[in-house]
Amino acid sequence: MSQVQGMVSIVGAGPGDPELITVKALKCIQQADVIVYDRLVSEELLLEARPEARRIYCGKAPGLHHMSQQAIHRTLLQQATLGLHVVRLKGGDPLVFGRGGEEALFLEQHGIRYEIVPGVTASIGAAAGADIPLTHRGIATSFACVTASQSADNTNPIRWDLLAGSVDTLAIYMGVSQLDSICSALVQHGRAACTPVALIENGTTTAQRVLTGTLTDIAAIAVQAELRNPALIIVGEVVRVREQLMAMRRQAEMQMGLQERIG
Ligand code: SAH
């Protein structure tokens, strides 16, 4: 008799706002037997699961890994081998700094069926939430998603030297604690010190905060404002589009206020 085969859906939960999830991802959550989820997954999405679905938290706060990657692999394998539908739920997109590729390789190696369901990654979500176009006609024709978190053995160093001059907009993940050194590296490698920078904390959520400055002063601004994780750094001239939009909005509001007073 053949055993019922389980499967693993490696699913992106989106950037923070629980409504920024794909229809397919939501269906996975609603049908799952087991949900193995990370810290950045919103509580509201977990409420979509069936009451009897098992929820397994695996942490992943910076520097505080609740469950090792190996333990996560083992959990996925154990649950899927029981014939269950396992949803591996991750913040943003599972394949953008999400280790989804490693999990897929592990599952394939063990003959476990899997699928990958994409999600809105933090840079796309946070940029929209902060009114910053990642590309903009005449200003930016390229953007890159970059991690500031380096592997301990330094086998794959971040090429700030190349990124500084070859990409218009940089969306930097996991960079809050190294903001000062990132800005210095970019300037050292030729990026203008007056290049605008935006920091988006808790992008797309009701707690979203946006700070702006330049490569010269943004690190001090972040300290002053007590910027916290999760936050995304956007470097590039496109940040000025936000400032333009804000200025236009303020002017429109002022005009409305004037009209109300006159009328
Ligand atoms: N797979 C995720 C990224 C995980 S790495 C994705 O595709 O989005 C975690 C980093 O993502 C955080 O350190 C932060 O830099 C960024 N991030 C995640 N959620 C965020 C949010 N709501 N606002 C700003 N940055 C966020």
The reply to whether 145 and 89 lie within a common domain is no
The pLDDT tens digits for 42-71 are: 999 999 999 999 999 998 666 665 789 999
Spatial separation of the C-alpha atoms in residues 71 and 62, rounded to whole Å: 17
- Are residues 80 and 171 located together in one domain of the fold? no
CA of 222 to the centre of ligand 1 (A): 17
- Distance CA(84)–CA(4), nearest Å, equals 9
| Separation between Cα atoms, residue 86 and residue 80, nearest integer Å | 6
3-state SS class at 128: helix
In this structure, are residues 169 and 236 in contact, taking their beta carbons and an 8 Å threshold? Answer: yes
Ligand 1 site, residue 231, Cβ cutoff 6 A: yes
- Of 65, 88, 120, the position where a domain reaches its end is 120
Active-site annotation holds for 174: yes
- Quick check: 215 and 164 in contact, CB under 8 A? no
216 falls within a domain:
yes
Query: What's the pLDDT score for residue 63?
Result: 60
Q: What pLDDT does 1 receive?
A: 42
Classify residue 236: in a domain, yes or no: yes
SS3 14: strand
Which whole number is the average pLDDT over 127-152?
A: 94
Residue 183 in this model has a pLDDT that exceeds 90:
yes
Residues 146 and 72 reside in one and the same domain: no
The two three-digit tokens of residue 241, written as one number: 């589009």
Integer Cα distance of 228 and 28 in angstroms: 31
Q: Is residue 257 part of a domain?
A: no
Average pLDDT estimate for 233-247: 97
How far apart, in Å, are the Cα atoms of 227 and each of 48, 153, 220? 31, 28, 10
**72 in the same domain as 57:** yes
Residue 108 token pair: 């394939």
CATH code of 89's domain: 3.40.1010.10
60 assigned to active site: yes
- Asked if residue 239 and residue 129 are part of one domain, the reply reads yes
**pLDDT attached to residue 2:** 47
The verdict on the CB of residue 14 being under 6 Å from ligand 1 is: no
For residue 153, the CA-to-ligand 1 centroid distance in Å is: 23
Do residue 150 and residue 191 come from a single domain? yes
Does some domain include residue 263? no
96 backbone dihedrals φ, ψ, rounded to 5°: -110, 105
**157 plus 112 within the same structural domain:** no
Count how many domains the chain has. Answer: 2
Q: Which helix (H) or strand (E) holds 218?
A: helix 218-224
Which atom of ligand 1 is nearest to 203's Cα? 23
Q: Mark which of 97, 120, 143 sits at the end of a domain.
A: 120
Query: Which among 69, 85, 120 is the end of a domain?
Result: 120
30 is a domain residue: yes
Predicted confidence (pLDDT) per residue in 7-22, tens digit: 999 999 999 999 999 9
Q: And the tokens for 64?
A: 């505080």
**Which residue range forms the structural domain that includes residue 195?**
123-245
* Spatial separation of the C-alpha atoms in residues 227 and 212, rounded to whole Å: 12
In a domain, 259, yes or no: no
Whether 111 and 134 map to the same domain: the answer is no
172 lines ligand 1 (CB under 6 A): no
**Are both 14 and 114 inside the same structural domain?**
yes
The CATH code of the domain that includes 145 is 3.30.950.10
In three-state secondary structure terms, 146 is strand
At 4 the pLDDT is: 72
Indicate the pairing of strand 196-201 with strand 231-235.
antiparallel
250: in domain: no
Residues 130 and 115 in one domain: no
Shared domain check, 136 and 235: yes
**Judgement on whether residues 162 and 67 belong to the same structural domain of the protein:** no
